[in-house]
Amino acid sequence: MSVAESPRLRREVSPLELFYDLVFVFAVSQLSHHLLEHLNGRGAAETAVLLVAVFGTWVFISFEATFLDIDRSVTRWMVVIAMGLGLYMNAALPAAFADRQWAFVVPLLATLFFAAGVTAAAGRGEALREHFRRTLVWMAMAAPLWIVGACAGSGPRLWWWLAAALVDLTGNWLAHPLPGRVLGSRQLGFDADHMVERLRLFFIILLGETVLTTGRALAEAPVEWSTILAAAGVFTALVCLWAMYFGGGEDVFATAVATTTDRLRSVRLGVNSAYVVLAALVAMAVGSELVIGHPLGHGSVTLALLLFGGLALYLAATAWFFRATAHGAWTERLLAGAACVPAAVAAVRLPPLASVALLDLILLVTVTALTRSHRRLVSSLREAAAS
């Protein structure tokens, strides 16, 4: 399938796609709640498994809607049905490892197989239909693991679902390859600008959920000077996270996608890094809630991992992405990630309020350095494309 055979390119993100995203605002809230209620290694593993399933579903439906063209009636119906199923799936997240496993697994598998079947039949061009037939094969490999896990007790369920999530994650990261059936991303006509905008708006949604978590924690906390300072520190951190991307980072991403010869690959790398970014933001949201709830309490390993481990994950994922696509603005991120290690060690003994101040210091320095770096990188990418 050539680009000329692809659907009309450069479409705006539709209101239906934004409507669909609202289901995943709810999902991120549910994931944060699950982690907060299970602050241990197993709880973190359970949250990671659920996150892969939830975000993988969002990625799959968003890619399909982009490939098929959201203006087609078949695509619209697919998104609406996926949205309804997603609402049931996300409602079951906090109890998926308890007594609502089927309420989670049935909508998950129904969404994936239904949407993949629609695209395999309705895709324009043989290359696109072939891609989604391969996707169905990968889903068929993971489905028994999800089902067996739902049949198992809550203890072994984690291991079955972890295996299923790894199959799904590997398929998404590698674009669902099959032996002897090579399909290059250049063979698929793809509205890369549309998907860049989808990712941009989804990132705003993720930050928005963190704002809501902070607001809920502030509403439940007593009105004291320590609580007010803690909330101000968390808000500063959120603004810095926003500025890391929207303070020139999005221009780098868009320019890198626009100037590459394989635009689909660049977008896919952005989606791959977004899995880790989502996990990092969930961890930081939970850590922020703990800080606001007990700003003058004792530090802990758990809080240090949530705040500084979450930030280090975020920085590492974005550093990898910027290095792979734009070949710049990644060293600053790695250095900031390295600074999180001694900060986390110190946070074990510091009161939470002091830990947030340390987090803000790292973020403010990083944002200042990246703002300049992003400007230089955009200019160099445009000059290289023009030459």
Residue 332 has pLDDT above 70, yes or no: yes
Residue 4 has pLDDT above 50, yes or no: no
The pLDDT value recorded for residue 222 is: 86
Closest CA to 207 of 304, 287, 277: 277
Top pLDDT among 235 and 133 is at 235
The pLDDT value recorded for residue 124 is: 66
Q: How confident is the model at residue 180 (pLDDT cuts 50, 70, 90)?
A: low
The pLDDT value recorded for residue 7 is: 40
Q: How confident is the model at residue 308 (pLDDT cuts 50, 70, 90)?
A: very high
User: If you average pLDDT over every residue of the chain, what do you get?
Assistant: 88
Of the listed ranges 47-56, 153-162, 251-260, 315-324, the least confidently predicted one is: 251-260
Q: How confident is the model at residue 6 (pLDDT cuts 50, 70, 90)?
A: very low
| CA atoms lying within 13 Å on the CB side of residue 42 | 9
What are the residue boundaries of the structural domains of the chain, listed by start? 3-187, 192-386
The pLDDT value recorded for residue 119 is: 79
The pLDDT value recorded for residue 131 is: 75
For residue 69, CA distances in Å to 82, 121, 190, 269 come to 16, 14, 10, 21
User: Using one digit for the tens of pLDDT, what is the confidence trace for 214-246?
Assistant: 888 888 888 899 999 999 999 999 999 999 988
Residue 190 has pLDDT above 50, yes or no: yes
The pLDDT value recorded for residue 262 is: 78
Task: Over range 77-83, report the average pLDDT.
Answer: 93
| CA atoms lying within 13 Å on the CB side of residue 158 | 11
User: Using one digit for the tens of pLDDT, what is the confidence trace for 252-305?
Assistant: 888 888 888 778 888 888 889 999 999 999 999 999 999 999 999 998 999 999
Residue 79 has pLDDT above 90, yes or no: yes
Task: Over range 93-116, report the average pLDDT.
Answer: 94
Residue 51 has pLDDT above 80, yes or no: yes
Q: Three-state SS string across 206-256, please? A: HHHHHHHHHHHHHHHCCCCHHHHHHHHHHHHHHHHHHHHHHCCHHHHHHHH
Please return the burial class of 324, using the count of CB atoms within 10 Å of its CB with bins 0-12, 13-18 and 19+: middle
> 154 CB contacts (<8 Å, ≥6 apart)?
97, 98
Model-level pTM? Answer: 0.90
Q: How confident is the model at residue 116 (pLDDT cuts 50, 70, 90)?
A: confident
Residue 136 has pLDDT above 90, yes or no: no
User: Using one digit for the tens of pLDDT, what is the confidence trace for 369-385?
Assistant: 999 999 999 988 888 87
Task: Over range 191-207, report the average pLDDT.
Answer: 85
Of the listed ranges 140-144, 187-191, 340-344, the least confidently predicted one is: 187-191
Task: Over range 67-88, report the average pLDDT.
Answer: 90
